[in-house]
Amino acid sequence: MSTAFFYDEQSFWHSGGNYSFLAPVGGLIQPAATGGLPENPETKRRLVNLMNVTRLMDDLTVMRAPPASQIDLIRVHTGDFLTTFRKTSDKGGGETGLRAPYGPGGYELAALSAGQAKAALFSVLDGEFTNAYALTRPPGHHCLRDWQNGFCLLANIAIAVEAAIADGKTGRVAVLDWDVHHGNGTEAIFYDRDDVLTVSLHQERNYPLDTGDFKDRGEGHGEGTNLNIPLPPGAGHNTWLEAIDRLAIPAIQSFKPDVIVIACGFDAAAFDPLGRMLCSVDTFRQMTRRVLDLAGDICQGRLVMAHEGGYSEMYVPFCGHATLQEMSGSSIDAPDPFAETLRERQPGKAFEAFASGLIAEMADALP
């Protein structure tokens, strides 16, 4: 069984509103020369381009999937939310949440993105593939049941997970979010559930500003099935791997899921305009290797990744290439053009000791 790679050209056609970086144009905000939001198609399109140039794409099984159905969407989102979203989309687009604008056809493109995540998860649970990657766009991990947020129009991973549970394909799912921003939407949707573990590794107080605390562990039946791992700005390769090893992996091992789903953002990379971390291509390669080994140990290798953030047009493709190279076991490499530079830019021993102390405090506080 090979690695499946789900994407659709139409996902690159999603467009936001008249923004300059993160601020709406108007008043003293001049339109950006490059146009629009940091969440644009180029980071994803250039990942596809790079894999075509290196021929890594030949080592994947390229798939496309239909949009998520209305039934899929209503399991996660409220009826009023979906109605408003569709009507606004049909009228030419707009913004019905926070920093989540869309143009004409935004509803259909968001459903298409969720459909790729669903199909990727189903393909692994059905045994067609051992693992799968969904190049989802627009992203989804900030979207709440009734509120669009942070470029996210629908909760892609939650829609996929709920569909799989409803279909009887799984009863226990672990979601690991390593996007640099807190996965607040996925957390909120499953916060009182004991059949879905949500783990978010993120830069503390980046986005959203008021979520992602370590103390937030779930409630009701979900008490203990949410884990936030907030890291200080400036954390790099060693700190991220230590957090994975000492916090995320033990939590997932203890939960014993049927499948692991990764909310795969590449915005913890050093060159990202929306993060202040110092991760590199090798960080994502090593994290991928670790979760592949974990999945092999506890859930027959079943692993799915859904693309989230990552806004450096030049660097995201190399991070994604390394991730998919590991997933597929391919020998085709795309060497990191900044590997040596980023090794020199990693935090010093004093910072890493401080960050290691924070991770140890979190580990000691867990049951």
* C-alpha–C-alpha distance, residues 137 and 256, integer Å: 29
Q: What is the pLDDT of residues 178-215, one digit of tens each?
A: 999 999 999 999 999 999 999 999 999 999 999 999 99
Ranges of H-type helices in 141-280: 156-166, 184-189, 237-243, 249-255
Q: Both tokens of residue 358?
A: 């924070």
Report the CATH superfamily, name and number, of domain 3-14+34-365. Answer: Histone deacetylase domain (3.40.800.20)
The residues near 167 (Cβ < 8 Å, ≥ 6 apart) are: 122
Spot the catalytic one: 141, 142, 181, 321: 142
Q: Both tokens of residue 119?
A: 């199909």
Residue 259's DSSP bridge partners are 173
Measuring CA to CA, how many Å separate 218 from each of 173, 190, 359? 15, 8, 20
Average pLDDT value over all residues in the chain: 97
Q: What is the pLDDT of residues 270-327, one digit of tens each?
A: 999 999 999 999 999 999 999 999 999 999 999 999 999 999 999 999 999 999 999 9
Q: Give the type of residue at 176.
A: L
To the nearest 10 degrees (0 to 180), the angle between helices 106-125 and 156-166 is 50
For residue 12, the model assigns a pLDDT of: 95
* C-alpha–C-alpha distance, residues 363 and 352, integer Å: 16
* C-alpha–C-alpha distance, residues 226 and 39, integer Å: 27
- Is pTM beyond 0.85? Reply is yes
Q: What is the pLDDT of residues 336-347, one digit of tens each?
A: 999 999 999 999
Q: Give me the torsion for CA of 195, 142, 209, 23, rounded to 10°.
A: 180
How many angstroms from the chain centroid is the CA of residue 306? 6
Strands 259-264 and 303-307: parallel
Q: Both tokens of residue 314?
A: 């030049």
Q: Give the type of residue at 15.
A: S
Active site residue 142: yes
Domain boundaries, the chain: 3-14+34-365
Is 315 within 8 Å of 272 (Cβ atoms)? yes
Q: What is the pLDDT of residues 209-263, one digit of tens each?
A: 999 999 999 999 999 999 999 999 999 999 999 999 999 999 999 999 999 999 9
For residue 1, the model assigns a pLDDT of: 66
Q: Under DSSP, is residue 230 helix (H, G, I), strand (E, B) or coil?
A: strand
Q: What are phi and psi of 87, to 5 degrees?
A: -65, -45
